[in-house]
Amino acid sequence: MNVNPVQLFDVDSSTFSYILVADDNTSAVIIDPVERHWQRDLAHLERLGLKLAYVLETHAHADHVTSAGKLVDVTGARAAVPSGCGIMPAEVQLKDGDVIRFGADERIEVLHTPGHTAGSVSYVWRGNVFTGDTLLIDGCGRTDFQSGSSQALYDSVIGKLFALPDTTRVWPGHDYKGQSVSTIGWEKRHNARLANRSKEDFGALMAALKLPKPILMDIAIPANQNLGLPHGA
């Protein structure tokens, strides 16, 4: 069954958030919610008549602040985060192979996919993979700060994400070009950075990017490691 998430967008940071609806229509999970949209996202859950079971993060973001802590406070949902990201207040610290369950019969599998950050994970659910900034449509996340490693990202994408079935739908953490969804099969054949490229070539390509530091980085990372809640509050 082609079950898609509800894809939500933040224009300021070009961030995607996702609502995964349980097939029994009782509950949902949200992935990578954005601070300024917590009311929008709660309104979506309310309109759909869904209880929020989990807030998931793919990593500690450097370019926007999460609403995870706020959503947990307001709804009583649980926060589940990658164990390698230093996100301390989260109740559930995830590692590779863990399974998150919600609704009557939903299973989200955790894949540890380091490279954009050392802790980054991807989430697999009903033929979909939520890749955070590990794999983007026709691209990938940067690997030059925040414990990033182009070698690790290459291994994560080639070894883990490209090992998923070709029809798996890829839902990225960002897009800057109006793209919304892709598939593993397409990215394997066409991804401008990763298709048909050696690890050495990829390392050289990433090293040559020389990207500016995200404007919000020094605020966003510590904030996100506290689930977006004020420190000491």
| Min separation Cβ 167 and a copy of itself, Å | 6
Looking at beta carbons only, is 47 or 210 nearer to a copy of itself? 47
| Min separation Cβ 19 and a copy of itself, Å | 9
Q: Which residues bind Fe ion (CB under 5 A)?
A: 61, 133
Whose structure tokens read 């993979």?
Answer: 129
Q: Which amino acid is at 223?
A: A
Judged by beta carbon distances under 5 to 8 A according to partner kind, the member of a copy of itself, Fe ion, none in contact with residue 76 is: none
Cα(55)–Cα(176) distance, integer angstroms: 24
| Min separation Cβ 107 and Fe ion, Å | 25
Looking at beta carbons only, is 29 or 90 nearer to a copy of itself? 29
Looking at beta carbons only, is 41 or 63 nearer to Fe ion? 63
Which three-class secondary structure state does DSSP give residue 190? helix
Judged by beta carbon distances under 5 to 8 A according to partner kind, the member of a copy of itself, Fe ion, none in contact with residue 99 is: none
Which three-class secondary structure state does DSSP give residue 192? coil
Give 44's contacts (C-beta < 8 A, 6+ positions apart): 6, 8, 19
Phi, psi for residue 35 in degrees, rounded to 5: -45, -55
- Residue whose beta carbon is closest to Fe ion: 133
> Residue 106 is encoded by which pair of tokens?
């939903």
Judged by beta carbon distances under 5 to 8 A according to partner kind, the member of Fe ion, a copy of itself, none in contact with residue 40 is: a copy of itself
Looking at beta carbons only, is 43 or 207 nearer to a copy of itself? 43
C-alpha triplet 101, 105, 106: angle, nearest 5°: 45
